[in-house]
Amino acid sequence: MKSLFRTKSIPELIAAAEAPDKRLARTLGPWSLMALGIGAVIGSGIFILTGTAAAGEVRTYESLLHVPLLDLLMQGGNSSFTFGRPGAGPGVALSFLLTAIVCGFAALCYAEMACAIPVAGSAYTYAYATMGEFTAWMIGWNLVLEYAVSNMAVAVGFSAHVTHMIEGVLGIPLPRELTTPAIQGGQFTGAWFNLPGFLVVMGLTWLLVYGIKESARANDIMVLVKIAAILVFILGAARAIDPGNYRPFMPNGFTGVLTGAAIVFFTYIGFDSVSTAAEECKNPQRDLPIGIIGTLIACGVLYIGVAVVLTGIAHWSTLNNAAPIVGALKKLGMNTLWKWIDIGALGGMVSSLLVFQYGQARVWFAMSRDGLLPKLFSRIHPVHRTPHVSTWIAGFAVAIPSGVWDVGTFADLSSIGTLFAFFVVSAGVLILRRIRPARQGAFRVPFGPVFPILSMLACLVLMMALPLETWVRFVGWSIVGLVIYFAFGRKHSALAG
């Protein structure tokens, strides 16, 4: 049992990262890190979930497994499996603000850990230094799940979006056999392979192998495109705001605002990916806190801006549909603006794919360097100084399922994996302060243990908002991870000998 919780000291982790044959190129500054974070956080969700949170929703579930645990606890006598979620109305702007504050607790914890342990691997590495190898493995294993499942879903969405744009704008019909997953909802569709989803992942994989500097530049461009699209919407549609749409501001009271916050929380997930770039930034002690906290502030401002304008140009009760912003703009005759939104959504998907593929490869790289995965995963390209093998493997691991399978129903697995990592990082801050109380010169979460504890509690509540089915899959994935750890990782760990 003692060997399961053996830890790596911070000097050992840093020394391993500085080994000549494992050293990554340090090329990223604070603005590139912020662009990585914004690329991960702002995806197509800003154009969809804003409307859902404002209007509310009624969900009917097929079985007990699909019902979120919080709904079961709060409405346990409901035997029809139909649950209503009151909308926040124009108060959805407060939902975004509240969620940013809650995520801010976790972001501060990530910033402190990233400064103290400026090594690739994010929550996996932080857990290795504070809670031991077994916990680190389970975090790393679930981070792989988080990044992979999220990108599979985004790749399928990208394919559908590109197909729609090519057919709708250019009038060029595309064969369904090559633009649709072969399996959707557990049923064969008659399609052969989802080629656009496969190609975009493999193209980004090649870019990541070619170089982090080049990848960061491409991400910077895509982030600028989607920020431009968001600003064009905010500034262009603001002139059509009807103040009457803001009354009442909270039609369902603060309950609606809280429900809206739970719905939009998952649009903020992704700022943690900044910490995976710890070994590739020029000055991690300064740059990582700026990148992590700056990402959250910038995204919070953009989200709130979109929420204020959207609920001003359309009544909140009309926004529960698949494309609330596009629908509202079309109704107002603003056809040029909604085309910008389409471009912004496309840029959001591509930059999100790029950042999560980057993060997934870095987690595999860190786990391999510690001996928990085969050494093949930690090989560094002699010219580009990138972990090329783990990047290619991560690319195929996402691209092939994206071509075959629509994994949208598994998207909650990404959320539970992220919340688990947030919880562990927040707990790690408390442990780190006990084992290294005299640490100086690094960023520290203010107000002592209060913010880390609040972050842990928020993560537990939000994990309870996920369906029982997601918990079952999460446990199943964890069991697979346990088998691999005891069969390979524990024996080959760098700490085993």
**Angle 348-354-359 from CA coordinates, rounded to 5°:** 125
Mean pLDDT of 328-348: 82
Of 275-279, 374-378, 409-413, the range with the highest mean pLDDT is: 374-378
Q: Which two tokens stand for residue 204?
A: 């980004």
Q: Give pLDDT, residue 483.
A: 94
Mean pLDDT of 421-428: 92
φ, ψ of residue 281 to 5 degrees: the values are: -105, 150
The residue written with tokens 């399961």 in the block is 4
Q: Give pLDDT, residue 97.
A: 92
Q: Give pLDDT, residue 65.
A: 66
Strands 187-188 vs 183-184: parallel, antiparallel or unpaired: antiparallel
CA–CA distance, 399 with 192 (Å, rounded to integer): 14
Q: Give pLDDT, residue 310.
A: 92
Q: What is the mean pLDDT of the chain?
A: 84
Which stretch of 115-129, 174-188, 308-322 has the lowest confidence by average pLDDT? 174-188
Question: Is residue 78 pLDDT above 70, yes or no?
Answer: no
Q: Give pLDDT, residue 364.
A: 92
Q: Give pLDDT, residue 70.
A: 64
Q: Give pLDDT, residue 283.
A: 87
pLDDT tens-place string over residues 17-53: 788 777 888 888 889 999 999 988 887 677 777 888 8
Q: Give pLDDT, residue 51.
A: 83
Which stretch of 32-36, 161-165, 191-195, 370-374 has the lowest confidence by average pLDDT? 161-165
Q: Give pLDDT, residue 264.
A: 82
Mean pLDDT of 288-302: 92
Q: Give pLDDT, residue 409.
A: 58
Mean pLDDT of 72-83: 60
Q: Give pLDDT, residue 399.
A: 92
Question: Is residue 355 pLDDT above 70, yes or no?
Answer: yes
pLDDT band at 276 (very low <50, low <70, confident <90, very high): confident
Q: Give pLDDT, residue 312.
A: 94
Q: Give pLDDT, residue 76.
A: 54
Q: Give pLDDT, residue 246.
A: 93
Mean pLDDT of 421-445: 82
Torsion sign over Cα 387, 392, 395, 396: negative
Query: Higher pLDDT residue, 116 or 209?
Result: 209
Q: Give pLDDT, residue 473.
A: 84
Q: Give pLDDT, residue 81.
A: 65
CA–CA distance, 213 with 196 (Å, rounded to integer): 25
pLDDT tens-place string over residues 97-142: 988 988 899 999 999 888 888 888 888 999 998 898 999 999 999 8
Domains of the chain: 2-492 (1.20.1740.10)
Residue 428 near residue 127, CB atoms below 8 Å: yes
pLDDT tens-place string over residues 356-391: 899 899 999 999 998 999 999 999 998 888 999 999
pLDDT band at 66 (very low <50, low <70, confident <90, very high): low
pLDDT band at 433 (very low <50, low <70, confident <90, very high): confident
